[in-house]
Amino acid sequence: MLVIVAPGQGAQTPGFLSPWLEVDGVADRLRRWSDVAGLDLVRYGTEASADEIKDTAVAQPLLVAAGLVTAGALLPGAEDIAKLVGAVAGHSVGEITAAALAGVLDPADALTFVRERGRAMAEAAAVTETGMLAVLGGDPDEVAAKLAEHGLTPANNNGGGQIVAAGTLDQLAALRADPPAKAKLVALKVAGAFHTRHMAPGVERLAELAPTLTVADPVTRYVSNKDGEVVASGAEVLARLVSQVSNPVRWDLCMETLEQLGATCVIELSPAGTLTGLVKRNVKGVATLALKTPADLDKARELMAEHTGEETSA
């Protein structure tokens, strides 16, 4: 079974979209979506600095647009998703990409939603100086205890002993000074304590936007960050996208579900690498491919044919 996944914030790097502009139609779609996103997606994806694309209001629309254009290069017809893809999932903002791929939101509504999500989360993050640290390894119970001791939230559980701690910069500094035994701490390239109570204003803003969007039920299985469950209702997907802004990301449970569903191949959309790395470490016997540049498309199509018995309409 083929699964398509979309990465979350922090996966972006300067210039990552440059090679994709050589693919027919990509530049045109990015320019068209720039009007919806209120950003020059081409410039941010090709010329902007690391600091510019770290900005939450920039990074989130950029990631969703990148996922959609790279998915379009791999699966140009909407019918390909329903016919070939057994499930879709995304990490944090990547859930919006996954929702669009599954037909829950059309691309314009997906870009509208992520535009407001990015702006709202950036504004919420500006209220208090906050951030996120990946905690790698250590005893799970001790890690949980240390986070609680310092008032931090386990905002992401990425499986395989990778927990992301989120909170104020002072709380994160206290954790650095008093880390769990045998754990490595790595700062994330994000500008706030996402998926925590600090993002509550963003939930309110998106709840007001949601009724203006048109939703449809997914054409393939949509696996939710909330609890790893498959969600069959488009309205429920949208409700979860709204609330997930301030709820922890349970990518560990998403991977468990993909394994239970019988996933045999996982392809990650650009800017790829993070999620395929997690899948490799946590889901045994699954073929993976990080779709980083157009040079990876032929291999991706080979894997798709191998794991679906079908070829795309490309």
The residue among 254, 207, 266 whose CA lies nearest residue 226 is 254
Token pair of 108 as six digits: 């314009």
92 a catalytic residue:
yes
Q: What is the DSSP letter of 230?
A: B
CA–CA gap between residue 188 and residue 271 (Å, rounded): 16
CA–CA gap between residue 66 and residue 281 (Å, rounded): 25
The residue among 79, 90, 116, 156 whose CA lies nearest residue 311 is 79
253-274 burial, b if ≥16 CB within 10 A, otherwise e?
A: bbbbbbeeeebbbbbbbbbbbb
Which H, E and C letters describe 241-284, residue by residue? HHHHHHCCEEHHHHHHHHHHHCCCEEEECCCCCHHHHHHHHHCC
- Which secondary structure element, helix H or strand E, spans residue 208, and what is its range? helix 200-209
CA–CA gap between residue 232 and residue 226 (Å, rounded): 14
195 a catalytic residue:
yes
- State the virtual CA torsion across 20, 21, 27, 30 in degrees, nearest 10: 40
- Those residues whose C-beta lies under 8 Å from the C-beta of residue 280, and which sit 6 or more positions away, are 286, 288
- Dihedral of alpha carbons 68, 121, 113, 31, sign: negative
CA–CA gap between residue 198 and residue 16 (Å, rounded): 30
Catalytic residue among 91, 150, 195, 307: 195
Catalytic residue among 92, 224, 246, 270: 92
Q: What positions carry a catalytic annotation?
A: 92, 195
